[in-house]
Amino acid sequence: MAQISRRTLIKGAGALATAAMIGKPALAADKIKVGFIFLGPIGDYGWTWAHNKGREAIDAALGDKVETIYVENVAEDASAIPVIRDLAQQGCKLIFTTSYGYMDQTIQVAGEFPDVKFEHCTGFKRADNVSTYNSKFHEGRAVLGTIAGKMSKSGTLGYLGSYKVPEVVLGVNAFALAAQKQNPAATVKLVLIDSWFDPPKEAAATETLINLGCDIVTTHTDSPGPLQILEQKGLFGFGQGADMSQFAPTAHLTAIEDIWGPYYVARAQAIVDGKWASADTWDGFKEGTVMIAPYNPAVPADVVALADGVQAGYKDGTYNIFTGPIYAQDGTLKVKEGEVMADADLATIDWFVKGVESAS
């Protein structure tokens, strides 16, 4: 069953190097080992928490054949290389590296261990033994944008993000476009805080967005901190990565839930069966990777109907928020009327749509 690794006691702070302690050696040598590299603590109630749920799904489904080990709080720099390498040396046959910033490190270690299979989350570099997988979080953002566009009184929405990476840019654009479908004048103020997890900074950024007139703030960072600020101010927001309603029962309208379990179980099963092959997977509502948490009673029935409509549209393929006409921030036409952006273009997007207000 779950082979919990020792908790990482050593943290990187400032310019200090991060080191990480790796889990205990296996007790049952006959089980296939699957390793996980986590960005944050498993108790973040967001990104890493959701990935850990996926890991637990492997334990539940394949516990008699597979054992999982994980390392949390692994920095997205060169210090990740020895941590990934160590998992491979411990005999892991499959290693999930669960953040964008592990991309080159994963490719490098994969080159050293051709017999070990790797799965890199949200990246785009693949090899014979490296798959990539991602989730169409932006489909969920379209649902949140629909709710926000309809419920915002000021028409000024806040978006608290981490870094300008395609995942976040897609989220911002999907949110803004969906909000503008409900309220053509809606604008989205964007703050990227250069971190995935910094509760005090997330809180201060949320306050700043509120002070600048935003009455709904959605978060693309991993802590529930922003929701707690919105709760105190009597405003609304959304959970990120997991249902965060326990942290803000009134402010939490709904959340995008990341459901990694089915994918992780399928890939671990493929290792057991010897049928694993390198692939690129990008699932969304249709495959169940993205889910919307229960709606807060504060969401009116007509808004719930609209939000459910977006979800249903993604499931049956009739809805795609990236359907033209789409204009960039400076007003140039990026996608012509009736055209739909291809997945390949979405995966490398680096421009914001009209109505997004950001500085550098």
Partner 1 sequence: MSPEYIIAAIVTIVGLTTPILLAGLGELVVEKSGVLNLGVEGMMLVGAISGFGVTVLTFSPWLGVLGAAAGGAVASMLFAVLVLQLNSNQVATGLALTIFGTGLSSLLGLSFTGRIIVPFLSVFPDALAKNPIGRLIFGYSPIVYFALIMVPAVYWFLKSTRAGLILRAVGENDHSAHSIGYSVVMVRYAAIAFGGAMAGIGGAYFSMVITPMWAEKMTAGRGWIALALVVFAGWRTGRLLAGAYFFGFLMWLELFAKANGFGTTLPFLQVIPSQFWAAMPYVMTIVALTIISARGTAGSNAPACLGRPFLPST
Q: Which residues bind partner 1 (CB under 8 A)?
A: 7-11, 13-14, 16, 40-41, 43-45, 73, 158, 189-195, 197-205, 207-212, 223-225, 228-229, 232, 246-247, 357-360
Peptide bond into 114 cis (omega under 30): no
The residues, any chain, with a CB within 8 Å of residue 13's CB and separated by 6 or more, are none
Between 210 and 310, name the residue whose CB sits nearer to partner 1. Answer: 210
Sheet containing 66-71, strands listed edge to edge, beginning at the edge strand earlier in sequence: 66-71, 32-37, 92-97, 117-121, 130-135, 280-283
256 contacts 108 by C-beta, under 8 angstroms: no
Query: Residue 142 CB, nearest distance to partner 1 (Å)?
Result: 23
Between 130 and 192, name the residue whose CB sits nearer to partner 1. Answer: 192
Phi-psi region of 328 (alpha: psi -120 to 50; beta: other; left: phi over 0): beta
Between 41 and 140, name the residue whose CB sits nearer to partner 1. Answer: 41
Query: Residue 129 CB, nearest distance to partner 1 (Å)?
Result: 32
Distance CA 15, CA 7 (A): 22
Query: Residue 268 CB, nearest distance to partner 1 (Å)?
Result: 26
Between 249 and 288, name the residue whose CB sits nearer to partner 1. Answer: 249
Query: Residue 83 CB, nearest distance to partner 1 (Å)?
Result: 16
Between 194 and 345, name the residue whose CB sits nearer to partner 1. Answer: 194
Query: Residue 210 CB, nearest distance to partner 1 (Å)?
Result: 8
Between 207 and 308, name the residue whose CB sits nearer to partner 1. Answer: 207
CB count within 10 Å of CB 35 equals: 28
81 contacts 63 by C-beta, under 8 angstroms: no
The residues, any chain, with a CB within 8 Å of residue 358's CB and separated by 6 or more, are 189, 190, 191, 192, 329, 352
Query: Residue 43 CB, nearest distance to partner 1 (Å)?
Result: 4
Instruction: Tell how strand 333-335 and strand 280-283 pair up.
Output: unpaired
